[in-house]
Structure formats: C-alpha cells, structure tokens
Amino acid sequence: MSAVTASQMRQLEDQAFSRGIEAGSLMDEAGKGLARWLLDHFPQPGRAIAFIGKGKNGGDALVVLDQLRRAGWTIALRASHPTHEWTTLARQRLRRLGIEPDQGLPAGPGPLILLDGLLGIGARGALREPLDALAEEMSRLRNQAGGIVVAIDLPSGLNADDGSSGGLVADITLTLGAPKIGLLQDVAARYCGRLGLIPLAGLPMPDQPGLELTTPALLSHLSTPRPHDFHKGDAGRVRILAGSPGMSGAATLASHGALRAGAGLITLFLDPENPATPLPEVMTKRLSKRIPALFEDRCDARVIGPGLGRLTAPQAEALLEGLAQDTTPTVLDADALNLLAGSDRLDLLRSHHLITPHPGEFARLAPDLAGLLREEAATRFVDRHPCTLLLKGTRTLIATAGRNPRINPTGHAGMASGGQGDVLSGVCGALLAGGLCPLDAGSWAAWLCGRAAERAITHGGESEESCTATHTIDHLGGAFRDWREQRR
C-alpha cells in the first residue's frame, strides 16, 4: 500500500460508505486502533489530554480517551467549540465518555500524552482561531511539562498533500487507513515525528505506485517462525570486514548487530592492530595484508566497510577485485563506499549489493544528486546503479529499481550518535544471510534498529540523550517481538 492524497482518502471513505460501512463504526475502529498503538508504545499507564476540534478528527480522540481510561489512564479534555457545534458522531462519543471539557491538568505518574484531535483531513489552510489557542497550549505543555504530542491522522495545520506546515509540532503521528502523502515529504519530518499507521479493516486501500511506509502490517511476509529443526547453517553465515585501530568499536558493534539479528555463524576479519573485543560467539580472523581471505570461503552474506578506515593501495585494489568477482549478497557501508567513490568504481555495484550510506557518504557517491529531495535522489541513484540503496537519515529510505521506494517510520533523534550505523550494517548482514532480498533486508533492518532504540527509552529507562548503539543492540529482541505481533 502506498500513500494517498486527502481527496483520494475521501473517495475511499465514500466508497466504503456506499458499501454500507458506517462512519461511526469507522471512527470507533480508528479510535480503538489508535489506543492499542499507544498502550503498546507506553507500557506504564499515564495521563492523556485530548484537544479536539468540531470535526471527526476530534471524535477519534474521544474514542481514544475512552480506551485509555479503561486501561487505567487518567484523562482530560479541551475543546475548541461548544458541543452543539460538533458533529453528531463526536457528540455521541462525548456522551459515552461522560466527562466535560475543563482546564485542569490531570494528576498522577506516567507519560503525559497530548492528543491532537483538532484537525484531520478536513483542514483547510493554516490553523485559525479558536483552534490555534489549543495548539499553543499543547506546544507549551510539550516544551515545559514533558508532554508528548500525538497527532491523530496528521498534525493539525499540516497540509496532507504537500507536507507544508505552519502548525503544530508532533512527537508521534498516527495516520489512519493509509499514510497521507504530505506526511512522507522531507519537509514534514520535523512536524510529524515518529509515524505510525493504523490500518482500518473497513477501509481497505488499493495498491498503487509511490512511496511506501515500512510497517509490520504491510510487510508481514518478512518474518515467519523458524521450523523446530532449524540449525545454524539455516540461520546463515556472515563474514564481516570492519574496524581499524582507531575505530575498533565499529567491528564489535557490527558483529554484535549481526549476532543479535539471528545470524548463525559470524566471522569477523580484523586488522592485526585492532584491539576490538567481540563477543565469544563471534569468530575472528586476523586479516594481515591479505584481503582476498575475506572472499575465499563460501558464506551467505558479507558486510564490508564500517570503521574500516583507509586501506593501503594493495588492499584497496584487492578489495575492489574481490567485489568484482563475488556474487554473495553484500552490505557495503562507510569506508567501502568511500573507496568506491574515491576510486570511481561505482560500476561494481550489482543487484546483490545493499549499500548503506549516510547523507555525507551519499554525496560522495553521487554529488549531482545530493541536493535533491531524498526520494528523488534515491530513485535516480538506483536507476543508474543496479543495487539497493538504504539512505540513512531522519527517515531512512530504501530504494531499488522497479519497486516502490520504502520509508522507515521508526527511531528517534537519540539515534544521532556514533555506532548506530555499524549496528545497522550488521543487522542488514544477518537478514541477507537469512535469505531476504536486499530491499526486504534493508527495510526490515532499519525498522528493527529504530524500534529497538525506541524501546530503549519506553521500556529501558533511557532518554534521547543517553541512548547509545549498545542500547539498540540490547533491545533488538523486543523489536523482533513487536514486528511478529504486528505492533506499530
């Protein structure tokens, strides 16, 4: 499923209504799905204030409040308009809830959620009175009282089609039925925060070309239970060339990422001077001057590049030669990409390569594309080079020629720290070794690492500031479980 405009969404809703689906039952389905997402995301009950306008977006928020209260949360309500101006559906949900709008701040422990139900796809233009006063209150509580703004469908004031906004900044945006195109635009990232998709069974979406969101509901085929007689050969053998004396941790993090993402056997090739101390489960080989050793034995996937530093000229030549001959699925990261760019050998890129540049490395690979919007840059790159590109950034993009590009919704600003990319490369390697194609391996690895980093905060007591790449590794298990249980 790919993203839709506001008017496409309206058409899909109208089609559902003409099939006999009722708007009220869609609203209840939406509200329950939103609440389930929040209860999964925030394991401890807390406080929730809904800020509602007079449309159906506000009605959704009232259903969420009802569900959260049943789960032990303390709730409160702010409304922009007197109830006689609301839609009938919202008035009915208020009667069910049995509370009145007030000004108080709900007391008690746990997270403070600020539910943005001011405007959804019915928005026209920038936020106007009296809604903008409530948006300001949300921003104040976010900045001064640690409130977490959760936008329903889209952040109020954001244009659903082009992503422009002068409105509210949300920490989480939970979009209903299908992602709205505006939410996926580069310019919208800082207004939307973490994206989540709440599927609506009453509103099935057609497949169409365009940007897709990676979610467990859309890509459930990526994870199937292991057969009981599974053995380590089935799990896949990964060979990693990473790290250097000044960046020994990159080798450790990449190999631990691969290990904790399910690889059966991992061999880490290390520079003899590298003091890295990988886990005992990881086999190590000293590389000496002989890069070809990396390519000698058969394996199911290779990871080349994290923290590799500058190779000697003979080593660089041997590595390029090995890449030219090899057909094993391979993750190329960091200094392996710098080597390709510096030696002008992008012609070596093939369909079994998953390349994982950050924006700086991408600019070295394709200086002429670096200034473009991310989706366009990624799409043009894979049209030129027959590989899969995982372009890191606030919203990691995964693209390969002939397929819809995918955007990753998980993760947070606390992942902007050294080592997270090394872990990602190892996770990609393990998933490639497990038999996934580069597009699926890259999409799932980005989702899992982002989700693990989120769990480090919501389940592990970390903050955006304290979260490290090691925390990401520690929480990979919970991220796999979340995917299998189709949460988020």
Residue labelled with tokens 């900045």: 143
The nearest distance, CB 346 to ligand NAX, in angstroms, is 44
CA 437 to chain centre: 19
Cis omega (within 30 of 0) for bond into 329: no
30 is a site residue for ligand NAX (CB under 6 A): yes
Tokens describing residue 297 = 């034995």
Query: Cβ closer to ligand NAX: 203 or 242?
Result: 203
Give CA separation, 53 vs 108, 148, 237, in Å. Answer: 26, 19, 55
Amino acid at 313: A
271 interface partner picked from K ion, ligand NAX, none, CB below 5 to 8 A per type: none
Calpha distance 356→339 (Å, rounded): 14
Q: 3-class DSSP state for residue 486?
A: coil
Calpha distance 216→205 (Å, rounded): 16
Contacts of 479 (CB under 8 A, 6+ apart): 447, 448, 449, 451, 452, 455
Binding track over 140-179 against K ion, x by CB under 5 A: -----------xx---x-----------------------
The nearest distance, CB 56 to ligand NAX, in angstroms, is 3
Q: 3-class DSSP state for residue 431?
A: helix
Pick the piece of the chain touching ligand NAX (CB under 6 A) from 50-58, 135-143, 323-331, 383-391: 50-58
Q: Which of residues 171-190 bind ligand NAX (CB under 6 A)?
A: 176
CA atoms within 13 A on the CB side of 151: 29
Binding track over 289-308 against ligand NAX, x by CB under 6 A: --------------------
Rule CB under 6 A: choose which of 123, 134, 251, 479 binds ligand NAX: 123
Q: Which residues are annotated as a binding site for AMP?
A: 392-396, 421
Binding track over 92-131 against K ion, x by CB under 5 A: ------------------------x---------------
127 interface partner picked from K ion, ligand NAX, none, CB below 5 to 8 A per type: ligand NAX
Tokens describing residue 320 = 């390029």
The nearest distance, CB 119 to ligand NAX, in angstroms, is 4
Q: Which residues are annotated as a binding site?
A: 56-60, 116, 120-126, 153, 156, 250, 307, 358, 392-396, 421-422
Calpha distance 260→250 (Å, rounded): 15
Pick the piece of the chain touching ligand NAX (CB under 6 A) from 49-57, 100-108, 316-324, 437-445: 49-57
55 is a site residue for ligand NAX (CB under 6 A): yes
Binding track over 11-50 against K ion, x by CB under 5 A: ----------------------------------------
Query: Would you list the DSSP string of 273-339?
Result: T------TTSEEEE-TT-TTHHHHS--SEEEE-TT--PPPHHHHHHHHHHHHH--S-EEE-HHHHHH
- Cβ-count burial of 403 within 10 angstroms (0-12 exposed, 13-18 middle, 19+ buried)? middle
Q: Which residues are annotated as a binding site for K(+)?
A: 57, 116, 156
Residues at the interface with K ion (CB under 5 A): 57, 116, 151-152, 156
Residues at the interface with ligand NAX (CB under 6 A): 13, 23, 26-27, 30, 53-57, 60, 87, 119-128, 131, 152-153, 176
